[in-house]
Amino acid sequence: MKVLVIGNGGREHALAWKISQSPRVTEVYVAPGNAGTAIDATNVPIPVTDQEGLLEFAKANSIDLTVVGPEAPLVDGLVDQFEQHGLKVFGPSKAAAELEGSKVFCKNLLHTANIPTATYQSFRTAEEATRYVKERYPEPDDAAAVVVKADGLAAGKGVIVCDSRTEALEAIDRIAERKEFGAAGNELIIEEKLVGMEASVLAITDGETIITLPAAQDHKPASDGDLGPMTGGMGAYCPTPIVNEAMMERIEADVLVPVVHAMKRARRPFKGVLYAGLMLTSSGPKVLEFNVRFGDPECQPLLMRLKTDIVDLLEATADGKLSELEPLEWDERPSTCVVMASEGYPGDYEKGRVITGIESADALENVKVFHAGTKLENDQILNDGGRVLGVTALGDSISKAKLQAYKAVKEIRWLGGWCRKDISDKAIDIS
């Protein structure tokens, strides 16, 4: 069968790599892809925003299954378009994808369904939000443990964690006045700042059956020790010991099952990947956000461990037949993914710098280098985005997986290329 993967990040490289291992698959296309997907699959130069172009390609090439990687085309209704033309596609509908596309929609749904999350208020203007903060924190130097969030999609960056009234007012100004995240800031949320360890729990659902994947942990801030500005994610590992079996059962019962039911009741049945970003607080797990697709970079260490044919899983979800699938099989060994980024990311960065050493990193045992922001030009691999590579390794323990991933990182060089040095340390501290 022929499969089309839509997107060009590390997640899509991991998906294409895993899908191409299926004995059922003859051809994997990636639109538009990157330098890595050009090696493991066939790139098609159609941008994710070109719904007509993608649809035409899928029809003309008799694509049997399309897998949508990123959130933006899901929120824009690509799945609805494909289904209207009778094409099989993995991912939620436009209406269901609003769970990620609008934080106000998500918070309201969580509230209505009594799913644990931070207390919040939503606002349509900077003035309203400013007034609220000033009323709650009357003195200019008041402490204010709040999080200010743009409603819409902002590549993981539209969330500002604050400790003081000054920071909260500045965050409101950036989101709702200066519109740093564009139309995503047309509405905003101010919520209570939660304290605890974070975990990503991803589940696959066809709207009826839910299959939970092993918990992973992302590293969203740019610098070691979780300091610095938010990024799309600087590394991840899986499984994380901070979610034990009892905690996973609680997350399934208190979060995942009620969300799937609530979406059905809201006439937005959810199928695809339901990704719960959670804070494990002293009063139990609370939802920070929902995503409607695989996490990037969580997808890379997850798929490194998946033994089941992923095409069976994706197809059963699209067909609404997840209940018929055998339990998923996983490699017992943990995996760690270290993201290498361009100089300046998550701010401005230069593109077009030559990357060396990927082949020797890839040749190391139990290592796979997933490409994200790369492109191939004159037989050279160049950086072409903020997050450039996801260097992923399996090991007999998390510390061994970490060691192997960083050994591979050492092989890779380009001007200004950098990474966090502490990916998975939180797990090592616990175990």
Minimal distance, residue 299 CB to ligand GLY, in Å: 8
Does 107 bind ligand AMP (CB under 6 A)? Our answer is no
Minimal distance, residue 62 CB to ligand GLY, in Å: 31
Read off the tokens for 29: 């296309």
Does 1 bind ligand AMP (CB under 6 A)? Our answer is no
Q: Which C-beta is closer to ligand AMP: that of 272 or that of 277?
A: 277
Q: Which C-beta is closer to ligand GLY: that of 66 or that of 291?
A: 291
Q: Which C-beta is closer to ligand AMP: that of 217 or that of 335?
A: 217
Does 277 bind ligand AMP (CB under 6 A)? Our answer is yes
Read off the tokens for 335: 């995996």
Q: Are strands 217-218 and 235-238 parallel, antiparallel or unpaired?
A: antiparallel
Which among 341, 328, 2 has a CA at the least distance from the CA of 16?
2
Does 191 bind ligand AMP (CB under 6 A)? Our answer is yes
Does 310 bind ligand AMP (CB under 6 A)? Our answer is no
- Exposed, middle or buried, 159 (CB in 10 Å: 0-12/13-18/19+)? buried
Type of residue at 39: I
Binding-site member from 48, 118, 248, 318 for ligand AMP (CB under 6 A)? 118
Does 98 bind ligand AMP (CB under 6 A)? Our answer is no
Does 201 bind ligand AMP (CB under 6 A)? Our answer is no
Contacts of 294 (CB under 8 A, 6+ apart): 11, 15, 69, 202, 273, 275, 302
Minimal distance, residue 63 CB to ligand AMP, in Å: 32
Minimal distance, residue 216 CB to ligand AMP, in Å: 12
Q: Which does 159 bind (CB under 5 to 8 A by kind): ligand AMP, ligand GLY, none?
A: ligand AMP
Q: Which C-beta is closer to ligand GLY: that of 144 or that of 302?
A: 302
Q: Which C-beta is closer to ligand GLY: that of 156 or that of 334?
A: 156
Minimal distance, residue 295 CB to ligand GLY, in Å: 4
Does 296 bind ligand AMP (CB under 6 A)? Our answer is no
Q: Which does 295 bind (CB under 5 to 8 A by kind): ligand GLY, ligand AMP, none?
A: ligand GLY
Q: Which does 291 bind (CB under 5 to 8 A by kind): ligand AMP, ligand GLY, none?
A: ligand GLY
Minimal distance, residue 298 CB to ligand GLY, in Å: 5
Contacts of 304 (CB under 8 A, 6+ apart): 14, 331, 335, 337, 368, 392, 393, 394
What is the rounded distance in angstroms from the CA atom of residue 153 to the CA atom of residue 358?
32
Phi, psi for residue 238 in degrees, rounded to 5: -160, 140
Does 151 bind ligand AMP (CB under 6 A)? Our answer is no
Does 193 bind ligand AMP (CB under 6 A)? Our answer is yes
Read off the tokens for 268: 């937005």
Q: Which stretch binds ligand AMP (CB under 6 A): 78-86, 190-198, 298-306, 419-427?
A: 190-198
Minimal distance, residue 230 CB to ligand AMP, in Å: 6
Does 74 bind ligand AMP (CB under 6 A)? Our answer is no
Q: Which stretch binds ligand AMP (CB under 6 A): 66-74, 192-200, 201-209, 315-323?
A: 192-200
Does 194 bind ligand AMP (CB under 6 A)? Our answer is yes
What is the rounded distance in angstroms from the CA atom of residue 106 to the CA atom of residue 111?
9
Q: Are strands 65-68 and 2-7 parallel, antiparallel or unpaired?
A: parallel
Minimal distance, residue 218 CB to ligand GLY, in Å: 4
Q: Which C-beta is closer to ligand AMP: that of 227 or that of 246?
A: 227
Which residues bind to ligand GLY, rule: CB under 6 A? 156, 218, 233, 291, 295-296, 298
Does 153 bind ligand AMP (CB under 6 A)? Our answer is no
Give the interface with ligand AMP as residue ranges (CB under 6 A). Answer: 118, 147, 149, 156, 159, 161, 191, 193-194, 198, 220, 230, 277, 288-289
